[in-house]
Amino acid sequence: MVFLSWTRPSPKQQKDCLNKAGTFNYDEKYIGATAKLQLSEDINKQQLEKDGFVINHSKMLVGSGPDAFSKGKTALQTWRHFGLSWAFVDPKTPIENGVKFCVCVKEFVPWLRMPLQVVYVNETKNNKTNIASFGFGGGTLRGHLLSGEERFSVEMDGDKQVWYEILSFSKPAHPLAIIGYPYVCLRQKYFAHKSTDAVRKFVSSD
């Protein structure tokens, strides 16, 4: 099952995608794994790679100071990180555990509608150290071309620098994705670059 649209998907088409989507299409033991995944050679990373998942990671500076962090958090909450001409999520979609959302991506002529579900939302703040973070993970549902999970987060470190991070693990879940997986991996990296630009632009805006 693949959700295609020849024109930009309407709210009704997005809702239809989510209504027809099944349950998570990756192993239950990995649901929420991006919340605790470390990029060191730990057992989680090794097991993911053993099971055929490819880990994708991007972490870029987008600003500095509490105001920049607050704007970065707002950017994620309003899906500004998907505010691209060729990729979007309904900005009214709430970032809450259990909420399903539809990622719409234009590939050549058709648009792809890919269903996911928020599997966790994490927020931390330490007034003494200035360290703060906000992020959430989305897991793929049946009907998505890939299987896996992706975390989007913003973090202010002890030097008050604000970072935007994307961390994911994925593998093909459909013959189309198997055939074109090298291209998919390139698009993931391209999305990370453009998504960072979108967040940085929003953070620096008045």
Domain CATH code at residue 187: 3.30.530.20
The residue range of the domain holding 124 is 3-204
Res 41: pLDDT = 52
What percent of the chain clears pLDDT 70, i.e. is strictly above it? Answer: 97
The mean pLDDT of the chain is 92
Higher-confidence position of 16 and 179: 16
The answer for residues whose C-beta is within 8 angstroms of residue 189's C-beta and 6 or more apart is 56, 58
What percent of the chain clears pLDDT 90, i.e. is strictly above it? Answer: 77
Q: Under DSSP, is residue 167 helix (H, G, I), strand (E, B) or coil?
A: strand
**In the chain, what is the straight-line distance between the N-terminal and C-terminal CA atoms, in Å?**
43
Res 62: pLDDT = 97
Work out the angle at residue 20's Cα, subtended by the Cα atoms of residues 82 and 26, and round it to the nearest 5 degrees.
70
- Stretch 142-146: mean pLDDT, rounded? 94
With a cut of 80, say whether residue 6 has pLDDT above it. yes
Q: Which range (63-77, 130-144, 169-183) has the least confidence?
A: 169-183
Q: Specify the number of domains making up the chain.
A: 1
Yes or no: say if 44 and 149 are a contact pair by the CB < 8 Å rule: no
| Residues 135, 25: Cα–Cα separation, whole Å | 22
- Stretch 23-29: mean pLDDT, rounded? 94
pTM: 0.93
With a cut of 90, say whether residue 177 has pLDDT above it. no
Confidence of residue 40 (pLDDT cuts 50, 70, 90): low
- Stretch 36-65: mean pLDDT, rounded? 83
User: Which tokens is 40 given?
Assistant: 């060191």
Yes or no: say if 192 and 56 are a contact pair by the CB < 8 Å rule: yes
- Stretch 139-147: mean pLDDT, rounded? 95
- Stretch 19-34: mean pLDDT, rounded? 93
With a cut of 70, say whether residue 9 has pLDDT above it. yes
Res 39: pLDDT = 59
The answer for residues whose C-beta is within 8 angstroms of residue 139's C-beta and 6 or more apart is 24, 26, 31, 116, 117, 119, 148, 149
| Residues 66, 202: Cα–Cα separation, whole Å | 14
| Residues 176, 114: Cα–Cα separation, whole Å | 13
